[in-house]
Amino acid sequence: MTQIVTDTLKILSESDKEACETARITANEPISNKKRLFIESYGCQMNFSDSEIVASVMKEAGFATTSDVNDADLIFLNTCAIRDNAEQKVRIRLQHLNAIKRRKPGLLIGVLGCMAERLKTKLLEEEKMVDIVTGPDAYRDLPRLVEEAETGQKAVNVFLSREETYADISPIRLNSNGITAMISIMRGCDNMCSFCVVPYTRGRERSRDPESIVAEARQLFDQGYREVTLLGQNVDSYKWTAENGSEKDNSVNFAQLLERVALVHPDLRVRFSTSHPKDITDQVLYTIKRYDNICNYIHLPAQSGNSRVLELMNRTYDRAWYLERIDRIRAILGEDCGISHDMIAGFCSETEAEHQDSLSLMEYVKFDFGYMFVYSERPGTPAAKKYKDDIDPETKQRRLTEIISVQRRLSLERNQRAIGKVHRVLIEGTSKKSAEQFSGRNDQNKVIVFPKENYQVGTYVNVLVTECTSATLKGHAV
């Protein structure tokens, strides 16, 4: 799961507002005489990127987006199935939307994305909550499915493709600040982590051709965007080989793709997410070092600090391997390279000593921030079939609280390293807390706020950091 959360401490917990359960909605297009589409997206960056593809497909079918659900003729919920809480929130939302539908009989409701395949029968036939169910690889089929639903039929397509990458579709940028954008470089996942539903909801891994990725990055830069994030469930395993070509002469790996995007323009910042500890190579790290516009920031999920638990999770690396990759990152990119993580508290049979291993791994790495969860058993996953979810909720929550406490301290310590230094910041918009301040991020993906003065959104500015919290750096332009 890949997320960017700005302006708040990047920690996910039961008590905090979780990014995977926070919705983003479509913008309001000032277009009359068209049917109106409302998309509400939950989950990771891949989901938000997919919603931009859906908006593009439906625009060609004659729909304009709306930000008012009551104004919609067609409502899509793009769903997340990674945790039970996310699914329950979507179910509650569907009950609310069905109340609107009773007042507006022609309204159609569709569920897209990761919940679609798993719950299609329940949603369509048993609970009769939706008209359309579409999986992540079937978005080209949405106009036909909508037409089918308009006749009163239940419309469903959850086919998972081995080829679909949507490379030829120009996404409509939703909720865009006009400065930063996401580019999907691959779809699906071949890493069968025992706790994860993604391989079953998004299918097998396939990479998009590099020319279309570079062309999209170039087009975004020409439109005024100054930062792109290359997205994949595991970007390090990106590999594209030309048809009828030999791998030696016609293949492109992730390090080579990263370089091609960086060469679009020196003022186009490049980020990527998510990396996998088993696949991130020194070649990738040296490519980051070679280009100033590739950000010194890596999201490297750990999930646990204990080798036995990692084996149960089928992560295909152990604690020593993970720490060796961290050591290489520090050796090649320096101590200031930003590193974030995912961590699961209370996985099946995790002992107290193994939980302490996760805390000690955090202390060794000194992560800048993290995404932290209690283990949530997902039906159909290998872990649900093979292992007993035997850690009681109170213990899970206590362990999560301890993980969060360590991360808060580490985040503050890492941010304090930035004080007294000048950072190049891309201005993304006005700070949420003050209309007199701008907000942007530095190379290490840290949010920095500073007085607006006469600077403009979408430009780079050098900011001297003078103070910080565990979530935010503060300073002034120099």
Taking only Cα atoms into account, the Rg of the chain, rounded to an integer number of angstroms, comes to 22
The structure tokens 């720490």 sit at 323
Residue 23 has pLDDT above 90, yes or no: no
pLDDT level of residue 7 (50, 70, 90 thresholds) = very low
Give the model's pLDDT for residue 205. Answer: 93
Report residue 152 as tokens: 């009163």
Could you name the CATH architecture of 19-157? Answer: 3-Layer(aba) Sandwich (3.40)
Q: Which two three-digit tokens encode residue 92?
A: 């509650």
Amino acid letter at 429?
A: G
C-alpha closest to that of 348 among 379, 309, 314 = 309
- Is residue 426's pLDDT more than 90? yes
Q: Which of 76-90, 150-164, 277-291 has the highest mean pLDDT?
A: 277-291
What are the binding residues?
44, 80, 114, 189, 193, 196
**Percent residues over pLDDT 70 in the chain:** 92
Provide the H-helix boundaries in 313-351: 319-333
Total number of residues shown for the chain: 478
175 pLDDT exceeds 90?
Answer: no
Matching residue, tokens 């391989």: 199
| Distance between CA atoms of residues 138 and 113, nearest Å | 9
**Which among 157, 146, 132, 131 is positioned nearest to 60, based on CA atoms?**
146
21-40: average pLDDT: 77
Q: How confident is the model at residue 24 (pLDDT cuts 50, 70, 90)?
A: confident
The reported pLDDT for the residue numbered 255 is: 98
pLDDT grade for 174, boundaries at 50, 70 and 90: confident
Nearest residue to 209 (alpha-carbon basis) of 248, 256, 175, 173: 256
Residues making up the annotated binding site for [4Fe-4S] cluster are 44, 80, 114, 189, 193, 196
pLDDT tens digit string along 206-226?
A: 999 999 999 999 999 999 999
Cα–chain-centroid distance for residue 148? 32
Q: What per-residue confidence (pLDDT) applies to 17?
A: 35
pLDDT band at 43 (very low <50, low <70, confident <90, very high): confident
Q: Is the pLDDT at 18 greater than 60, yes or no?
A: no
Residue 80's pLDDT band, with cuts at 50, 70 and 90, is: confident
Output the furthest CA–CA distance in the chain (Å, rounded): 65
More confident residue, 389 or 165: 389
| Residue 248 confidence (pLDDT) | 56
Q: Region 453-469: what's the mean pLDDT?
A: 97
> What type of residue is 20?
C
Task: Choose between 409 and 156: higher pLDDT.
Answer: 409
**Whether the domain at 301-329+342-416 and the domain at 422-477 fall into the same CATH topology:** no
Q: Is residue 384 scored above 80 in pLDDT? A: yes
- Per residue in 93-134, pLDDT tens? 998 999 999 999 899 999 998 887 777 777 777 667 899 999
Q: Give the start-to-end residue ranges of the domains of the chain.
A: 19-157, 301-329+342-416, 422-477
- CATH number for the region 301-329+342-416 comes to 3.30.750.200
The mean of the pLDDT values for the chain is 89
Tokens, residue 68: 């008012």
The answer regarding whether domain 422-477 maps to CATH 2.40.50.140 reads: yes
Q: What is the DSSP string of 365-406?
A: HT-SEEEEEE----TTSHHHHHS---S-HHHHHHHHHHHHHH
Q: How far apart are CA 22 and CA 40, in angstroms?
A: 10
The pTM for the full model equals 0.84
How far, in Å, CA of 395 to CA of 345, rounded?
Answer: 9
| Least reliable range by pLDDT among 9-18, 177-186, 396-405 | 9-18
Find the distance separating the first CA and the last CA of the chain, reported in whole Å.
37
pLDDT tens by residue, 337-383: 999 999 999 999 999 999 999 999 999 999 999 999 999 998 889 99
